[in-house]
Amino acid sequence: MIEIRDLSLTIHGTPILRDVDLSIASGQVVGLVGESGSGKSLTALALMDLLPHGSKAGGQILIDDTPLPTQAAEGHDRAMCKIRGNRISMIFQEPMTALNPVKTIGEQVAETLILHGAATRKDALRIASEKLTRVGLSPDRFPLDRYPHELSGGQRQRVCIAQAIALHPDLLIADEPTTALDVTTQAQILDLLRELVAEEEMGLLLITHDLAVVAGMADQVAVMKAGEIVEQGPTEGLFRTMSHPYTRQLLSASEHQPDRVDRAQDIPLLEVRKAIRDYPLPRTRLFEPRPQFRAVNGVSFHLNKGESLGLVGESGCGKSTLTRAILGLEPLQGGDTRLNGKTVGPDMDPARRSGMQVVFQDPYASFNPRWTVERIVSEPYHLTGRPENWRDHVADALSDVGLTEEAMHRYPHEFSGGQRQRIAIARALILEPELIVLDEAVSALDVSVRAQILDLLADLQRRKGLGFLFISHDLSVVRNITDRVLVMRAGEIVEEGPTETVFANPTHPYTKSLIDAAPVIPPDWKENPYGTALV
């Protein structure tokens, strides 16, 4: 039993957390939900006493009624070192970077055991092997001397779990453990965590932004907003009543369906015919041709004017490669793509390139931080030449995306994530293209911001008759914003059809597995006793 009482936190004097009370019983899953910046992760780090520099924490944390050493106590870090990894352990969001690249997985799992004096080196390796087997990495397929780079993201997260549970902790903290993973991998990892909670009789504090994940996993839910827990209680009851407006707001934003008008015409805008894209692999023999990896294998589809087409698939399925080929950034090894009947490729003329623009996932990484918004938004003009009144066009594009002219002279870091994505959309709009490729364009945004951006996109489509190619791993978003959907797997389109039909009656087993793996909130939880929808 872990109890947090009156936890407060300031960082360099700024209050971050206030009066956080939370208790996690053994064998129980407590979900902590909230948007980014709400203080979920810092609550976890406060439990671990791994807060950033300049933090001052107040309040009490008790394990089985014994208080943990407070920050002010003499030698508290040494005392906490005995608790971390032993009684409280933690796994993180990004499994790709969470493991030391120069140590084997066996060594890293065994380290927990040796460090806390639970086993000798030899025993520790044996126990590590058992733990890795338990999390699904049996030594016949994944020997202990494997290095992290030889494993996939999901497998690495399993290694992290193995090292976190090696000493039967009282509490496991999982901070967005599946956010970076594909939907089918996510389902497997969540299943594993659920089993381990029961087997090990440990508590699990599951931190996530995804209400659907919490609905399927947690016994108790706490909703956090701006450093405070605004509502908590048993999961089903909380979902059924939703007594706090913020909780309702989160739910409605996460399921937000933008108001769309079907503007699709029966004129093809983008046509992709039997597209093949090969990548050369490292040479195996000196004087033989390099082996090729076929990332896109004979893909054909079309996108009509004003239509919104979704492209879904898991990481590595070839959707990003296909996107680059569609944008004419890389050559195809077979087939062709046409925009308005004209061939697209790396050597097409700039004017044709201006007919389609792209918005990427991370708006910050796709801007030069030393450029003003004015310069960022007007950059595509290098394709067509800058008209006299280009500043007016920039202002128009900014107002189209809901920003004011005043933004023109500011720099990207002065904007929030959602505003930056608006700037990226303005940059895509400036040349008045017919097609906008949205490559995971809303995946990095919080649910409420995501809902606003989806509304904006729907609005732009209605007003300008734009065609959208919407690439995402997030099925619910694709379902809400597209007319038709393509499901891609291992370089091929395995299913295609009107979005609602595909989601309601998937025909390909892969599509079925994708839809089944996506976490959902049970529909009857969303009905309240008064018979009116809350959202």
Partner 1 sequence: MFRYLALRALSLGLSLVVASWVIFAMIELVPGDPASFMLGLNAEPDTVAALREELGLSGSAPTRYLNWVSGMVTGDFGRSYTYRVEVSELVWERMQVSLPLALFALILSTTIAIPVGMLAASRRGGIADYGIMGATQLGIAVPNFWFAMLLVLIFSIQLRWFSAGGFPGWDQGFWPGVKALTLPAVALALPQASILSRVMRSSLLEVLHQDYIRTARAKGLSMGQATRRHALRNALIPVLTILGLQFSFLLAGAIIIENVFFLPGLGRLIFQAITQRDLIVVESVVMLLVFAVILVTFLVDLAYALVDPRLRRRP
Binding site for partner 1 (CB under 8 A): 48, 50, 77-78, 81-86, 89-90, 92, 94, 97-104, 111-112, 115-116, 147, 149-150, 160, 163-164
Q: Is the CB of 291 or the CB of 509 nearer to partner 1?
A: 291
Residue 203 Cβ vs partner 1, minimum distance, rounded to whole Å = 16
Residue 149 Cβ vs partner 1, minimum distance, rounded to whole Å = 5
| 423/377 Cα distance (integer angstroms) | 7
Q: Is 476 helix (H, G, I), strand (E, B) or coil?
A: helix
Residue 486 Cβ vs partner 1, minimum distance, rounded to whole Å = 34
Find residue 268's DSSP bridge partners.
304
**Residue among 387, 401, 376, 388 nearest 466 (CA):** 401
| 330/346 Cα distance (integer angstroms) | 6
Residue 205 Cβ vs partner 1, minimum distance, rounded to whole Å = 13
Q: What is the DSSP letter of 156?
A: H
Q: Is the CB of 146 or the CB of 263 nearer to partner 1?
A: 146
| 410/422 Cα distance (integer angstroms) | 14
Q: Note whether 81 and 142 are within 8 A (CB).
A: no
Q: Is the CB of 84 or the CB of 489 nearer to partner 1?
A: 84
Q: Is the CB of 72 or the CB of 102 nearer to partner 1?
A: 102
Residue 51 Cβ vs partner 1, minimum distance, rounded to whole Å = 11
Strands, E, within 125-180: which ranges? 171-175
**Residue among 32, 36, 27, 38 nearest 4 (CA):** 32
Residue in the structure block whose two tokens are 């338990």 = 134
**Residue among 33, 175, 28 nearest 90 (CA):** 175
Q: Is the CB of 117 or the CB of 529 nearer to partner 1?
A: 117
Q: How far is CA 26 from the centre of its chain?
A: 29
The burial of 39, by beta-carbon neighbours within 10 Å (0-12 exposed, 13-18 middle, 19 or more buried), is given as buried
Q: Is the CB of 94 or the CB of 455 nearer to partner 1?
A: 94
| 513/397 Cα distance (integer angstroms) | 41
**Residue among 115, 250, 113, 217 nearest 535 (CA):** 250
Q: Is the CB of 89 or the CB of 178 nearer to partner 1?
A: 89
Residue 147 Cβ vs partner 1, minimum distance, rounded to whole Å = 4
The CA-CA-CA angle for residues 464, 257, 452, to 5°, reads: 65
**Which amino acid, one-letter code, is at 69?**
P
Phi-psi region of 530 (alpha: psi -120 to 50; beta: other; left: phi over 0): alpha
Residue 31 Cβ vs partner 1, minimum distance, rounded to whole Å = 20
Q: Note whether 383 and 431 are within 8 A (CB).
A: yes
**Which amino acid, one-letter code, is at 49?**
D
Q: What is the DSSP letter of 84?
A: B
Residue 367 Cβ vs partner 1, minimum distance, rounded to whole Å = 23
Q: Is the CB of 68 or the CB of 90 nearer to partner 1?
A: 90
Residue 170 Cβ vs partner 1, minimum distance, rounded to whole Å = 14
The CA-CA-CA angle for residues 340, 314, 129, to 5°, reads: 160
| 62/3 Cα distance (integer angstroms) | 5
Find residue 33's DSSP bridge partners.
208, 223
Q: Is the CB of 115 or the CB of 230 nearer to partner 1?
A: 115
Residue 140 Cβ vs partner 1, minimum distance, rounded to whole Å = 16
Residue 310 Cβ vs partner 1, minimum distance, rounded to whole Å = 32
Q: Is the CB of 283 or the CB of 382 nearer to partner 1?
A: 283
Residue 496 Cβ vs partner 1, minimum distance, rounded to whole Å = 38
Residue in the structure block whose two tokens are 């709009």 = 429
Residue 117 Cβ vs partner 1, minimum distance, rounded to whole Å = 11
Q: Is the CB of 70 or the CB of 97 nearer to partner 1?
A: 97
Q: Is the CB of 79 or the CB of 261 nearer to partner 1?
A: 79
Check the CA dihedral 198-202-203-206 and report its sign.
negative
Q: Is the CB of 79 or the CB of 351 nearer to partner 1?
A: 79
Rg (CA), the chain: 25
| 53/212 Cα distance (integer angstroms) | 34
Contacts of 97 (CB under 8 A, 6+ apart): none
Taking every pair of C-alpha atoms in the chain, what is the biggest distance, in angstroms?
A: 76
